[in-house]
Amino acid sequence: MSELTVDPGPGIPDGLVIPGGELTERFARASGPGGQGVNTTDSKVQLSFDIATSSVLSDAQRRRALHRLRHRLAGSVLTVESSEQRSQFQNRSAARQRLAAILREALAPPPPKRRATRPTRGSVERRLSSKRKRAETKAARRRPGDSA
C-alpha cells in the first residue's frame, strides 16, 4: 500500500506523509447500484489509521488529534469508509482524501479566543430607535380606545 500525503495547513506547516504500513485497508461488498458486478466485487473501502501508535505525529499533534476526534475513534483508531463509486480504485482514492481532510482539520490549532467588546453608542441608539418605530407601528394597528 502506498503512503498517504496530508497537505500543509494550520498546525502542520510542512504537511504529513503517513507511511503505507501505518494504514489498514479492508474491502467489502458495497450496497447500491452496480449491475451484475455488484454481487461479485468488493468495491467498498474501509481505511483505518491508529493515531496512538503513529510514528509520524508529534506528541502534541497526537494529543490534539485524539482529543478532537474522540467521538469518531474506536479506541485510538480512526476509520473512514467510502462506497460511493462502483470502482474500488475510486473508492480507495476517496477514502484517502477523506482521511487526509479529517486529519488536517483535527491537527489545526484552536482559533484564538474572542475578546468581549461593548456595542458602540451608535449601534445601541439605532437598535432602540428601530424598536420604538416598530412599537409605534404596532400601536397604530390597535383599535381606538384599547389600552394595553
Locate the domains of the chain by residue range: 4-107
pLDDT in tens, the chain (148 residues): 688 888 888 888 888 888 888 888 888 887 766 565 555 677 888 999 999 888 888 898 899 999 999 898 888 899 999 888 888 888 899 999 999 999 999 988 888 999 999 999 999 999 999 999 999 999 999 988 776 6
* Contact (CB, 8 A) for 43 and 21: no
* Architecture of the domain spanning 4-107: 2-Layer Sandwich (3.30)
Cell of 70: 474522540
